Structure 1
Amino acid sequence: VAIGSHNKGNKMERNKHGGEIWVPWGEKEKANHIIPSLIFSFIITFALFLEEVVRPLVSFSPNWAVVLPGDSVTLSCNLDPVEPANHTYTWYKNGAIINKHQQSFEIQSASWVDRGHYQCQTNYSAKSDSLELEVSYDTVILQVPPRINEGDPLALRCHDRPGFDIQSTLFYKDNEAIEIPVTDSVLHLGKANRNMTGIYKCKGFYHGKMYWSSKRFISVTGNYTEIAIIIALLGFHIFHVLYIYIYCLRIRDPIPLYIYIYIYKYKVSQKALQGNIKIKKVYLDTHVLCVSK
């Protein structure tokens, strides 16, 4: 967020001959000029904050990133915590609008044309991040969730095409067998953590023949967090210095935030915080960035 823009500290007046000249501003005039513009900037910033916080998430049910031809999958546009009653929905596939306008829709029998990156948006929200659906024609596939965050329950499935009924399913991580009991070709690994990141595959037997799935890289990421910046309590302006409060808001997950102060694109300070921080002497052309770690 840019706190402000550079101000030359001058004003324009007309001389006795009708010409225009630039004369220095006094500090009182500067304050009278800058405060309304800062209030306007705050309103715009807060409006952008509202738009960014309300960002939907696309989800699949069943929660697999890859399916076989003929499988069914339901796509949903989840907007939390706003109730969906008065929302209209727009769906995108590979960046183009598709003819779907409800919160959820079902692909009853997946085929090659259904693969792609899906996004959704409501009339009150920003566009969601994309979620990729793959359709594989392999005999055996390893099904994994499309999005895996720390703390989420993690399950993998060794899935075979119709007409096959693989037995003695075994899963591997980084070429080492996972010695955990498998139920109906599904491996339950418990809550996901960073140590579960790796390359996975599975195998099974059908009529004495071994079938392997393709390898899939699973990445367990940090908790999903949306971060917004609110600039509040805009103070007075003296020699291009603002006295303000800067709030970095955590949405959904209580993880640490860090605030970075940029002046003319150079990082000059960094401080951990638990939710907000009061910063004095923040110059115009300062950029503020909240990040999670």
Structure 2
Amino acid sequence: MWQLILPTALVLTAFSGVRAGLQKAVVILDPEWVRVLEEDNVTLRCQGTFSPEDNSTKWFHNQSLISHQDANYFIKSARVNNSGTYRCKTALSTLSDPVQLDVHIGWLLLQTTKWLFQEGDSIQLRCHSWKNKPVNKVTYLHNGKGKKYFHKNSEYCIPKATYNDSGSYFCRGLIGQKNISSASIHISIGDPMSPSSFPPWHQITFCLLIGLLFAIDTMLYFSMQRGLQSSVADYEEPKFHWSKEPQDK
């Protein structure tokens, strides 16, 4: 019995560890663009679980700890040296996945919310000017061909991405009398069934542990049943030898 109960206890301990590992912090960009121009303002928000004793947040820029402990990290008038990866963690949350922020110099920048999309995702693109100067007669181009034209600057949305939407994008428009084009960016459309789209390792481990726990409990149940049946089978009713009392002779 104890030989089966001990593995069950170990699985339950591991199961608790996995549940704790599921608490991962998340970094969110506000606004959500991963590419910005110098002098743009950006806020990075850390979503995680805090303890009553410790409500501080640890922030990392390019793997180096930065001296900021608030859940919101505000970058005012961004500079190129603000580019890089950002991660955060809280008292009850593990280190987040990295979020890349790129700061560029120029008059016009094509912005995107991420680089890799899945089929069916909505793609949002923005032709962004330095200090938000007015841009007119804006054209969005895909692989060198015009895709969308706006008399007044506006965001370009692809409601449901397909493989054909992969490729190079840039925008151009008029700032004052100057005809300006942005640099090109490459956007990829992935397969939802690709390995990168599979559940994270800790979710797979969680499911395996649940299955293992069920198997051990089942083995324990049938082992107890066999033990009870064996006890009944080994039981023999005692035989009594009756003798008559003297007066019955």
Q: Structure 1 length normalisation: TM-score?
A: 0.60
Q: Assess if the C-alpha contact under 8 Å between 2:138 and 2:150 holds in 1.
A: no
C-alpha separation between the residues in 1 aligned to 2:56 and 2:176? 51
Q: In structure 2, which of residues 60, 72, 92 is the aligned counterpart of residue 124 of structure 1?
A: 92
Tell me the secondary structure at the aligned position of residue 179 of structure 1. Answer: strand
Q: Which runs of 5+ in 2 are unaligned?
A: 221-249
CA contact (8 A) 1:205 1:211 kept: yes
- Amino-acid identity (%): 23
Change in CA separation of 1:163 and 1:187 when aligned onto 2, cut-off 3 Å: closer
Q: For residues 98 and 201 of structure 1, do their structure 2 counterparts lie closer, same or farther at Cα, with a shift above 3 Å needed?
A: same
Match among 235, 239, 242 for residue 216 of structure 2: 235
1:273 is aligned to: none
How big is each residue's C-alpha offset from its partner over 1:183-204, in whole Å with a ceiling of 9 and x where there is no partner? 6332122355555333211111
Q: Establish whether residue 69 from structure 1 lines up as the match of residue 50 from structure 2.
A: no
For residue 50 of structure 1, report the CA deviation from its aligned partner.
1.3
- Alpha-carbon separation, structure 2, partners of 1:49 and 1:193: 36
3-state secondary structure, aligned to 1:229:
helix
Unpaired segments ≥5 residues, structure 1: 1-30, 237-241, 245-293
| Aligned residue number for residue 177 of structure 1 | 146
- Alpha-carbon distance change, 243 to 126 in structure 1, aligned in 2, over 3 angstroms: farther
Does the 8 Å CA contact 2:110/2:125 hold for their aligned counterparts?
yes
For residues 61-117 of structure 1, the C-alpha deviation after alignment (integer angstroms, 9 at most, x for no partner) is 1111111111101101124xx6x5844321111111111222212112111221110
Tell me the SS of whatever aligns to 1:171.
strand
More helix by share: 2
Within 5 A, what are the aligned runs for 1:253-292?
none
Map 1:212-227; keep pairs closer than 5 Å.
212-220=181-189, 222=192, 226=200, 227=203
**Helix, strand or coil for the counterpart of 1:118?**
strand
- The DSSP-based 3-state class of the residue aligned with 1:165 is coil
Structure 2 length-normalised TM? 0.69
1:197–1:106 Cα change, 3 Å: same
Name the larger-Rg structure.
Answer: 2
1:103 and 1:224 map into 2 onto residues whose CA distance is 29
Q: Within 1, Cα distance between the matches of 2:138 and 2:31?
A: 20
Please report the RMSD computed on the Cα atoms of aligned residues, expressed in angstroms.
3.1
**Count of paired positions:** 205
Q: Distance in 2 between matches of 1:182 and 1:243?
A: 71
